[in-house]
Structure 1
Amino acid sequence: MRSSRSATDPLDPGPGGFAHRGLHDDSAPENSMAAFRAAIERGCGIECDLQLSGCNSAMVFHDRDGRRLCGHEERVAHHDAASIGGWSINGTAEKVPSLAQLLELVDGRVPLLLELKEEHRNGERIAAAALRDLHGYDGPVALMSFSARAMRFVRTTAPEVRRGLVLSDRDIAMRRWDKRQRAQPHFLAVKVAIIGRGWVQSARDEMPVYSWTARTAADAAKVARYADAPIWEGDGHPRP
C-alpha cells in the first residue's frame, strides 16, 4: 500500500513512480532528452544523475567517463559542458544534456529526483552547480546523493530545497546515523533489496522512503509494500 504520507509529500510522483534515468529503451537511451520526453508523456516522475563538468556545470550523466555510453574514455570532469553536450549516447542522435536543458524541457510538469554523483570529494561543487541551475525553477524537484557532504551543503546553503540520502546495504548502522545527522534529509532513497528491514520502516515513520531500482514485477510488489514510491525501469513499473 502507498503510505498516507504521499498526500503531503511535495515530490509525490503519483502512480507512475520515478522512471529511472528516464523512460529509456534502445531508441531512447538512459539520461537522454528522448527518455525524459517519454517519461513526461507517460506522466512519470523522472530520476536522473548529475555529474560535474570541467567548467563546473551540472551535466545529466551517470558515469564518471564516456566509456560505457559514448564509446570513449574521456572523464566528464576533464571536459567543458559544450564538449560533453556533443557526445552521442549509445550511437544515437541523442546527446548528453545539461541540467539546464532538462529543467527547460520538464518545466514543472512532473517531479524531478536528481542524484548528485560525487567524484574525488567534489560533493559541494556538484551541489553548488545544481543549485545554480535550480534557482528560480518552480516545479517539484529534489536533490539526493550517497554523499552526506553534498547534502549538508544543500542543507546549509539552500535549506528550502528538498534533499535526500541514497542508502544501500553497505551503509552500516553507524554510517547511516552519521549521514543522517549531517544531511538531515527530507527523504531516503533505499536499495530495493533492503527496504523490508526494520530500520528502513522506522525511518519511514519520519519521512518518505523511495526505493531503487525496481526492475521486476517482484521488485514492484515489494516497493508497493515497504516504500512510498519506486524508482523503476523495465518490468519494475508500479501497478495500479
Structure 2
Amino acid sequence: MTKLNFDRPIAHRGLHDRQAGVIENSRSAFDAAIAAGFAIECDLQLTSDGVPVIFHDDDRKRLQGVDGMVRNATVAEMTSTPLLGSSTGDCPQTFDDFLAQVAGRVLLQVELKTQTHENTARLAEAAAKAVKDYKGPLVFESFDPHLIAAVRRAGFPGQVGIITYSYDEPDEDGRLTSSQRFQLRHLIHAPWSRFDFISCYQKSLDLPAIRFFRAMGVPVTAWTIRTPAEAREVAGRADQLVFEGFDPDRV
C-alpha cells in the first residue's frame, strides 16, 4: 500500500471561528485554511434532488435556523440560505463549487455522512462522479463502512478511510446493536471495506485494532484536537491531527 501523505495538520470543517463570523464548512473557513497551508476536513450530505452539499448536520436548525432535514431540502434551498452568524453571508456550497474553490491546493479529507439506507449508494455515486476529473489530493472517509465500500464500487480510484472510536457512548450508539458496536470498534469489516487509513477519536487511539493497523502501516489521523495539550497527548500515537480552535504549527 502506498502511504498516504498526511503531511500537514487538517483543519476540521475548515479554519473556522464563529466569534469572528467564520462558520464551519463555509467558503470563508476553507479560504482561511488554504491561506494557512492546512489540509481540510469537510462533510458531505445529499439533498432531496440528489446533489451533494458541504454541510455537517443531518438537520438544518443549528447551522441555518431552519426546521427540517437536509435530505428533504433541495439544493437551491440549501445553497440560498445563509449559515447563521456568517459575517459574509456564506451559504452552504455544492460539492462541485467547493472543489472549484480549492482547486487542488491542499489535501481534502471528505467525510461522507451516514445516510438513510436508500441514499447510501446515491451519495457514493454522486461523490465519485463529482471528483472524476478533480486533479488535487482528495480522500473520502465515513463512519459507515458501507459508504466507503459504495464509493469504491461507484468508481472512485483514490484512497478511503474509516472514521471510528470506541462505540461506548449510549446517547450516540443507541441505534446500534451490541454486535454492530463490537464489529465497528474492532474494525472487523476491514476485509470488505478495505480502508486505506483510519480517522480515530483522540480518546480511542489505544484501542487494540487501531494500534494493530497502525503497526501494519495504516495511517491514523486523530480527531478532534482542540488544544495544544491535546495535541501533545496524541503525539506519537497518530500520524496527523484533525484540529480546530488553535494553531497546531505553534505547538
TM-score of the aligned structures, taking structure 2 as reference length: 0.86
Structure 1, unaligned stretches of length 5 or more?
none
Against the structure 1 CA distance between its residues 198 and 239, is the aligned structure 2 distance closer, same or farther, given a 3 Å change threshold?
Answer: farther
Q: Counterpart in 1 of 2:183?
A: 174
Q: AA paired with 1:157?
A: A
Q: Please say if 1:164 is aligned against 2:161.
A: yes
Q: Counterpart in 1 of 2:122?
A: 125
- 5 Å matches for 1:25-44? 25-26=17-18, 27-44=21-38
- 5 Å matches for 1:141-152? 141-152=138-149
CA distances 1:181-230 after superposition (whole Å, capped 9, x unpaired): 22110101000011133331211123101111011222211232200011
Number of aligned positions between the proteins: 232
Distance of 2:182 and 2:225 partners within structure 1? 24
Q: AA paired with 2:219?
A: P
Against the structure 1 CA distance between its residues 159 and 67, is the aligned structure 2 distance closer, same or farther, given a 3 Å change threshold?
Answer: closer
Against the structure 1 CA distance between its residues 238 and 194, is the aligned structure 2 distance closer, same or farther, given a 3 Å change threshold?
Answer: farther
Structure 1 stretch 179-188 or stretch 22-31: which is displaced more?
A: 179-188
- SS of 2:16's equivalent? coil
Structure 1 stretch 180-189 or stretch 230-239: which is displaced more?
A: 230-239
- SS of 1:49's equivalent? strand
Q: Is the 8 A contact 1:214 1:236 kept in 2?
A: no
Against the structure 1 CA distance between its residues 236 and 197, is the aligned structure 2 distance closer, same or farther, given a 3 Å change threshold?
Answer: farther
- SS of 2:235's equivalent? helix
TM-score of the aligned structures, taking structure 1 as reference length: 0.90
CA distances 1:82-116 after superposition (whole Å, capped 9, x unpaired): 22101111142110111111100111100000000
Against the structure 1 CA distance between its residues 46 and 224, is the aligned structure 2 distance closer, same or farther, given a 3 Å change threshold?
Answer: same
Q: Is the 8 A contact 1:11 1:141 kept in 2?
A: no
Structure 1 stretch 178-187 or stretch 30-39: which is displaced more?
A: 178-187
Distance of 2:156 and 2:126 partners within structure 1? 16
Q: Is the 8 A contact 2:43 2:55 kept in 1?
A: yes
Q: Please say if 1:109 is aligned against 2:105.
A: yes
CA drift at 1:169:
1.2
Q: Is the 8 A contact 1:219 1:236 kept in 2?
A: no
Q: Is the 8 A contact 2:132 2:156 kept in 1?
A: no
Distance of 1:222 and 1:238 partners within structure 2? 15
Q: Is the 8 A contact 1:11 1:140 kept in 2?
A: no
Q: Counterpart in 1 of 2:74?
A: 80
Distance of 1:123 and 1:230 partners within structure 2? 28
Q: Counterpart in 2 of 1:66?
A: 60
Distance of 1:52 and 1:90 partners within structure 2? 20
CA drift at 1:234:
0.8
Distance of 2:102 and 2:63 partners within structure 1? 23
Q: Counterpart in 2 of 1:217?
A: 228
CA distances 1:107-153 after superposition (whole Å, capped 9, x unpaired): 11000000001222222221111111101001000000011111111
- SS of 1:225's equivalent? coil
* Amino-acid identity (%): 31
Q: Please say if 1:17 is aligned against 2:27.
A: no
Q: Is the 8 A contact 1:220 1:238 kept in 2?
A: no
Distance of 1:18 and 1:9 partners within structure 2? 17
Against the structure 1 CA distance between its residues 104 and 18, is the aligned structure 2 distance closer, same or farther, given a 3 Å change threshold?
Answer: same
Q: Cα RMSD between the aligned structures?
A: 1.9
